[in-house]
Amino acid sequence: MASPQGSGAQGSGAQGSGPQGGVGRQLEATILELLASRAATSTICPSDAARAVGGDSWRHLMEPAREAARRLVAEGQVQITQGGSVVDPATAKGPIRIRRVR
């Protein structure tokens, strides 16, 4: 699994979190690793990936984790759900879950 990162150089969480950024790629990989370690029907919350990457300083990684999930949806690797139904990641508001493509 991805190794935890402190709050040091990442600061606001926006730096390095884009598609080409190290944190963004780390979050994408962590999402896929977390899903692979669970049952095929399981889902995860973006906070699971944020916690795995950010350790005790994970809250600033919530939006970057949601962005990472949206990129994985665009690549056809995962789906985003709300209330058990697949939703469009561009319009999803509020809590989301991430699952493998079914």
pLDDT at residue 102, as a whole number = 92
- pTM, two decimal places: 0.80
> Do residues 66 and 82 make contact, with C-beta atoms less than 8 angstroms apart?
no
Q: How far apart are CA 89 and CA 73, in angstroms?
A: 8
Q: How far apart are CA 28 and CA 19, in angstroms?
A: 9
pLDDT at residue 9, as a whole number = 37
- Closest among 20, 43, 25 to 101, alpha carbons compared: 43
pLDDT at residue 85, as a whole number = 96
- Closest among 99, 101, 27 to 61, alpha carbons compared: 27
pLDDT along the chain (102 residues), means of 10: 41 44 95 97 98 97 97 98 95 95 94
For 72, phi and psi rounded to 5 degrees?
Answer: -65, -35
Q: How far apart are CA 3 and CA 24, in angstroms?
A: 14
